Amino acid sequence: MTDLPNREPVKAAQARTVGNAQSIRLFDVPVVVDESKCVTGCHICVESCPVDCLSIDLSKGKAHMQHDDCWYCLACEIDCPNDAITVKIPVLLR
């Protein structure tokens, strides 16, 4: 049995370096927040997430995906009043 490298830190590092929704690749993060549409201080998406994978970036005041534990329930995308969130559901779950 061969040891596979742990890829989770790589995904987390890629998620932190993403600047806007256009630079997201499909394998980076399942929840994409368009910072130009995200309202500072809103927090609706964070409150609606059942697994607490979203949080507010204190330096920007915008939502971002903190943990990659998304259930793809679409609660954050549906509840966002400005359509700033897109949930990328993997092909195998569609």
What per-residue confidence (pLDDT) applies to 30?
87
Please check whether residue 9 lies inside any domain of the structure: no
Domain count, the chain: 1
pLDDT, residue 92, reads 72
Containing structural domain, residue 77: 33-89
CATH code where residue 40 lies: 3.30.70.20
Concatenating the DSSP letter of every residue in the chain gives -PPPP--HHHHHHHHHH--SGGG--TTT-SEEE-TTTPPTT--HHHHH-TT--EEEETTTTEEEE--S------HHHHH-TT--EEE---GGG-
More confident residue, 23 or 31: 31
Determine what percent of the chain is predicted with pLDDT higher than 70.
68
pLDDT confidence band for 15 (50 / 70 / 90):
very low
How would residue 22 be classed by pLDDT, with cut points 50, 70 and 90? Answer: very low
Whether residue 64 is contained in a domain is answered as yes
